[in-house]
Amino acid sequence: MSPDNIFEGATGSESSESNAEERKLGYGAAVVETMAQIMREDESVFLAGEDVGAHGGVFGYFRGLQPEFGDDRVVDTPIAEQAIIGLGIGAAVQGLRPVVDLMFMDFICVAMDQIANQAAKLKYMFGGGAKLPLTITTAGGAGLSAAAQHSQSLEAMLCHIPGLKVVMPSDAYEVKGLLTSCIREDNPTIFIINKRKLADTCHVPEELFEIPLGEGHIFREGSDVTLVAIGRMVDEARGAADILSKEGIDCELINPRTVQPLDIDLIVESVSKTGNLVIVHEAVRFGGIGAEIAAQIQEQAFDYLDAPIGRVAAPFSPIPFSPALEKLYVPDAERIAAGVRNLS
């Protein structure tokens, strides 16, 4: 994905809030628009990370910020992920609102001590007396042939750490609303940008707005089966719902938007109506967020289930470089539809 492409008006997924008359904006362009607007509004917000200044980030979704705000608020850092997160933690504790970028989600592993043992725990260690308004942005997901070390979806690892909020927008509308909420949040958040979505467009208001963290969204109402889809998989699940509707299967599609905190009440309510549940995510199936959702549903809504809970996810394997193999690796609409048909 070229940085230039994220600002093109490519036709992509559309939020349920959209219509033909409304302004459309690309997923990647929504990142830079939100950052610029919130940096104009709040001088305590700054951005730091590898190549975020001169080059606008590895995918270009910070392009144009450094010329407007200067290199003291849009800071190019060394290639040192632990130092980048440490910078953000220190600045946040001192009252600033840093946004620090880790380029690829895979690189959170390099900075995991800072994320898990410092950022996530400082408020607890200080008895609630410390605020940590830190936003970590990173690009996750496969689909660009970036191979095994630059394509992972590691949200389940992050969700397991108390003290972190983990956000996965599915379209440009959610990018703007959720990123605004993350930056204004007084606790550490991890904002996961999907690389494959960067050029997709949908309706996005010009003004800043917030989507509350922890509130899911019913993307499509239905009566026969609940589909819970994470991040980019909302697009694929929507395609599966269209396929299944022609077969007389009416799917209700839920987009959690944030996976920590998780809006489990919304999912329980849907399952109590449909009696069936299939969970879809791009990460590997074993130990994924789908397993946690399935466990909570069987604890809270077991009596409503008409069939075992289904999961559609990636196989337990590193992500292949080969485009043909990568296409087989990542769930798509046909695989999701098959997963629904297999409920019994």
- The DSSP bridge pattern shows strands 201-203 and 251-255 to be unpaired
Phi/psi of residue 244, each to 5°? Answer: -70, -30
CA distances to 188, 237, 262, 278, 279 from 228, rounded to whole Å, are: 25, 8, 12, 6, 5
How far is residue 255's CA from residue 266's CA, in Å, rounded to a whole number? 10
Nearest partner of 331 among 307, 306, 313, 304, judged by Cα: 313
The residue whose two tokens read 């590898």 is 50
Based on its alpha-carbon atoms, the radius of gyration of the chain, rounded to whole angstroms, reads 19
DSSP conformation class of 5 = G
Nearest partner of 28 among 60, 69, 67, 71, judged by Cα: 60
Q: Which two tokens stand for residue 298?
A: 């069987």
Amino acid, single-letter form, for residue 79:
I
User: Which residues, 6+ apart, have CB-to-CB distance to 71 below 8 Å?
Assistant: 53
Indicate left, alpha or beta for 174 from its phi (over 0: left) and psi (-120 to 50: alpha): alpha
Nearest partner of 107 among 30, 161, 49, judged by Cα: 49
User: Active-site residue among 55, 150, 160, 281?
Assistant: 150
- The DSSP bridge pattern shows strands 45-49 and 97-104 to be parallel
Q: Is 150 a catalytic residue?
A: yes
How far is residue 17's CA from residue 39's CA, in Å, rounded to a whole number? 26
Catalytic residues: 150
